[in-house]
Structure formats: structure tokens, C-alpha cells
Amino acid sequence: MHPWLGRLIVNFVLCLICFIAYSSQIFIIWPWYGGVLSIELISLLLPFNLLVGMLLWNYFLCVITDPGQVPDTWRPDTHSDGYEVKKLTGEPRYCRMCDRYKPPRAHHCRTCDRCVLRMDHHCPWINNCVGHHNYGYFLRFLFYVDLSCSYHLTMVTRRVFHTMGGRYWDEPSSVELVFTILNYVACTPVLLAVGAFSVYHLYCLLGNTTTIEGWEKDKVATMVRRGKLQEVKFPYNLGRKKNIESVLGKNMFLWCWPIAAPGNGLKYELAEGDAFDGSVSWPPRDPSTYNTDGPQNEFVLPSSPWTYENGSINPSLEPYNSQRRSAARRRPQRLTAGVSSLPPYHPDYQEGTEAMLEGSDEESSGEDDVLRKPLVRAGSEGYEVRPVDRDDLLRRYLTDLGEQPGRYHRYIPTPDSESDSEDDDVTLAEAIAKRQ
Ligand SMILES: [Zn+2]
Ligand SMILES: [Zn+2]
């Protein structure tokens, strides 16, 4: 994404937040309370402004906080408990684009063009990745958007209901009316969209799963369903309370307060259990994409359903005649080099060239059909071409063929040894008469 576009989106989000938050107070609530600062008005607007303040603060932190990048010197720890290498992946994870090792749960973000610790997703609305260091702020931001929007809609709806059952001086002015409609139009979709997104992220938080890991889990579930894999427990699921603590901090009273994320994002606690005995990796690989028993035991699915002896197809199998006919009909009348459908004595026959029948209909593929049709050579359009005399053609062809040197051993009768060369022109009758 272009950097300017990202900034533009962030500014748009800020404008939207400010419009919903402040236009409702200035143009709807303030006139409703008669334009006088009262305890009632303050008690209505103070909580709302606090919510909006928290929302903006968390949004700001989401945008400016680096989600976490892999330090230059970071190497997978293969000597100590080996969490990152032996148990989780089997081999060190490496990012070829960044040219460095990947810590567990880190992924490469194409938009940011670098690896991001505990990457969740790249969010265009904050023009930043959501990763280890700002995931907490992101969740709090969603939470305050939900609360603020709900508070806002309740407030505006109360104003509307008050009008409906109210007295004539309570009726809203046209400005109020316009802003009421605009506030509904702006706030309702935001609450619906962010609300649905919040429910999903609450579910992820309770399972200590990132969006990417959610996809991995779906993939694993599919493989288990298809019988390719045994059930694999997600290694980071520590139990609900610990899962929330791993993102929002140990102190429950500060979960809604924007505090920095616990940990450095390079190492994560793993669930204890029998499943993690060193042989389990996450995400588990699809067994059909790699071979565990060596190449000699590799099972390769045959490309054809027909098997005949050692993987070859039955040689006596032939397509149906009707199938062959239709295939021949579909095939253009293109012939291979040196082979022509025309007989060699035909005037259009050209040896060694790829013959293509012009305008041949599907039905007239036979030799006789070709000959029956009046043929028009390229360049002779408009001239009458006489029909081909087949016998004449054959005769001429055979004559030509006979004249080719070395093609036939010709029988040339040797002259009689007795007769002289002068006698050649003498007729038979004269010769007989001579001899006598
Ligand atoms: Zn990378
Ligand atoms: Zn990113």
C-alpha cells in the first residue's frame, strides 16, 4: 500500500471518530439540554467523553507502536530447553525475505516488508501491523469503540424518543434532525462491523490465538477430519485467564488500561501436557506433502484410474468409435509434415509441406469428397477451374513417376546379336523377307 494512502485512511478514521463523538454532543445533546451546562448534562457527557478519550488514546498507541521486530542478533535457542526449535517447529524457522531467523509466532508481513513478532494481521485502518506490542492496544481500541458507539446510540436514541412523546418546544430543529440522521448513518455500521470483529478477537484472546494461527487451526482441523493427522493440541492455549494475562497483563484491574504488552515477543509460554513431548510441532505439517519413510516407500497416486500391471494402462483399451469420430471432427484438418490428405497425383499435392484443407466441412473429410468439390487455387479466384479428370491425372502421374531416374529398373530388351544396328528401322515384314 502506498504510504500516503495509509495516512489518508488513518486521517479518515480520526475524522469519523471525531464526527460521531463531537457532532452528536454539539448539535444534538447540547440543544436538547437547553444549551445550559447542568449537572445532568455533565453526568451524561462525562462518561461518554472518557470513553472517547480512551478510544482515541488506544487508537493513537495502535498506530504509533511498533508491533515488534526481530532483533538482528536473535538466534533460535537450540541449547537450553529448546522451546523454539525442538518442540515447536522441529527446525529453526527462517525468513528468506528478511534473511534472518523467525521467532515462534512471528510472521513476515508483505506490506511492512519485515517479520513481525506474534503477527496477527496487517490492519489498514491503523496503517500498521497488529503484533505482539500493539495487540493489547488494538483489543482495547475495539472494546472502547464498542462501548462508545453503544453509549452514543443510546444517547441519540433517547433524544429521539424524548421528541416523539414530548411537547412542542422539544421538537428538534432541522439542524438537529440532519445531525441525528447523520449520526445514525455513521455510527450504526461502525458498531455492527467493529462489534462482529470484537467478538472474533475476544474468541481469539480466550484461546490465545492470532488470526494467522486461527487459519492454521482450521487447516489442522480439516486434516484431522480427513484422517491425515491425529488430534493436535494448540500449544499456546494456557487456559482462559492465563491467555488473557499473556496479552493484557497480569493485573486484572489494568486490562482496560493501555499498558505495554508483557514479555518481549520472542518467547512464549507453552501449555503443559503430554502432547508436547518434543515430537509435536506447530503448525503440524500435512503428511501428504512430505515423506517420512524415505523415497522407496513413497506412495504416489496414479494419474489414471486405469491400472494395468505396473502402473501402465491396459494397452488394449481404445476409445469408442463414436468418441474417435467426434474427436476427429473437432480436430482441425491439420496434417503433419509430409503427409497430405490429397493423393500425390492431385495438382494441389505438395510434398513435404503441411497440408491444410481450405474450407473443408465436417462431413467432407474423405478423399472423394475433396475431389468432388470444385477446387479453387489461391490467386485464381474468379477464373473457372475445370473439374479434375481423375483418370487423366493418374495417367500423367504414372508417366512422371516413370521418368524419375533410378526409380524403376526398366526392362530394355537387348538387340538380337545377329541383327545389325542398321536393321532397327526395318519393318518386321522386310526383315523376314531378308532372312529368307
Ligand atoms: Zn521476514
Ligand atoms: Zn504489516
Question: Which of the following is catalytic: 95, 98, 112, 123?
Answer: 123
User: Do 48 and 148 form a contact (C-beta atoms < 8 A)?
Assistant: yes
How far apart are the CA of 121 and the centre of ligand 2, in A? 7
Please check whether residue 80 lies inside any domain of the structure.
Answer: yes
pLDDT value, residue 200: 96
Taking ligand 1, which is a single-atom ion, which protein residues have CB atoms under 5 Å away? 95, 97-98, 108, 115
The answer to whether residue 204 is catalytic is no
102 CA distance to ligand 1 middle (Å): 7
Q: Is residue 271 part of a domain?
A: no
273 within domain boundaries: no
> Tell me, what's the pLDDT at 307?
56
Quick check: helix, strand or coil at residue 407? coil
List C-alpha distances in Å: 37 to 42, 43, 55, 274, 425. Answer: 7, 11, 25, 64, 146
Gap between the Cα atoms of 48 and 77, Å rounded: 48
Quick one: pLDDT at residue 362? 42
What's the 258 CA to ligand 1 centre distance in angstroms? Answer: 28
Give this prediction's pTM.
0.64
At 294 the pLDDT is 46
What is the number of the ligand closest to the CA of 112?
A: 2
Using the mean position of ligand 2's atoms as its centre, give its distance from the Cα of residue 129 in Å.
Answer: 4
DSSP string, 79-113: SSS-IIIIITTSS--EETTTTEE--TT-EEETTTT
Instruction: Give me the domain span that covers residue 77.
Output: 3-254
Residue 85 lies in a domain: yes
- From ligand 2's centre to the CA of 116, what distance in Å? 7
Instruction: Please indicate, yes or no, if residue 131 is contained in any of the structural domains.
Output: yes
Nearest ligand to the CA atom of 103: 1
Quote the cell numbers at residue 56.
Answer: 482515541
- Quick check: is 166 in a domain? yes
For residue 301, the model assigns a pLDDT of 55
At 233 the pLDDT is: 84
Ligand nearest to the CA of 126: 2
109 alpha carbon to ligand 2 midpoint, in Å?
5
pLDDT at 317: 63
Q: Which residues of the chain are modeled with pLDDT < 50?
A: 82-87, 275, 279, 291-298, 333-337, 354-371, 419, 421
Report strand pairing: 100-101 vs 94-95. Answer: antiparallel
**H helix or E strand, kind and range, residue 128:** strand 128-130
- Alpha-carbon distance of 240 to 284, in angstroms, equals 23
Residue type at 193? A
Query: Is residue 334 assigned to a domain?
Result: no
Cβ–Cβ < 8 Å for 341, 335: yes
- Split into its structural domains, the chain has a count of 1
Tell me whether residue 370 is in a domain: no
The predicted pLDDT at position 54 comes to 96
Ligand sitting nearest the alpha carbon of 67: 2
Of the candidates 247, 9, 259, the residue with the CA atom closest to the CA atom of residue 120? 247
